[in-house]
Amino acid sequence: MRAYEESWDRRLGLMCCCVERKGRNKNSMSEIAQLFTEFFRDLDVVPSDVIAGLVLLRRCQKLRMEHTISQEGNDVYRYLSGVAVTPRTQFLQLGQPEVMQQYKLVIHYMKFAMAAYGWPIFMMMNTGTGLCRIVPYLR
């Protein structure tokens, strides 16, 4: 059982070679390997089978959403991030002054959050040119 888990751990390391395997990421990968070990224990499965299954699952979800939208008499207009938009869906009422004030406050503080937490992700995604691209915005 341990050998099978180590096998999945190695496979995940190859599939996710761009993810650094230190600290929290290492624990996450180990937990995913344990999950795959438990789930695929009695099956002869390779990583490409798992990827193909996830791609097919996503395609099935998209087709199901399209089918739901196209049905007559259905109150679903469309989907936003997998959530159905119906006549009962509540959106922000930006025409109301108090809601607009709260919205502007969120935008104001979101800039600080992006400055504090967004730059590590930006640097990770732009390893070669990130520093040169981010320096002009440092004020």
- Residue ranges covered by each domain of the chain: 2-85, 97-137
| Residue 103 banded pLDDT, cuts 50, 70, 90 | very high
Residue-wise pLDDT for 46-97, tens only, equals: 878 888 888 999 999 999 888 888 888 888 888 887 788 888 888 888 999 9
Place of tokens 């999945």: 8
Q: Amino acid identity, residue 88? A: R
Q: What is the mean pLDDT of the chain?
A: 83
CA distance 15 to 60: 23
> What is the per-residue DSSP string for 9-71?
HHHHHHHTTTS--STHHHHHHHHHHHHHHHHTTTS---HHHHHHHHHHHHHHHHHHHHHHHHS
Residue 1 is inside which H or E element, if any? Answer: none
Residues 6+ apart with CB under 8 A from 15: 47, 51
Residues 6+ apart with CB under 8 A from 5: 33, 34, 37
Place of tokens 């087709």: 63
CB atoms within 10 A of CB 107: 9
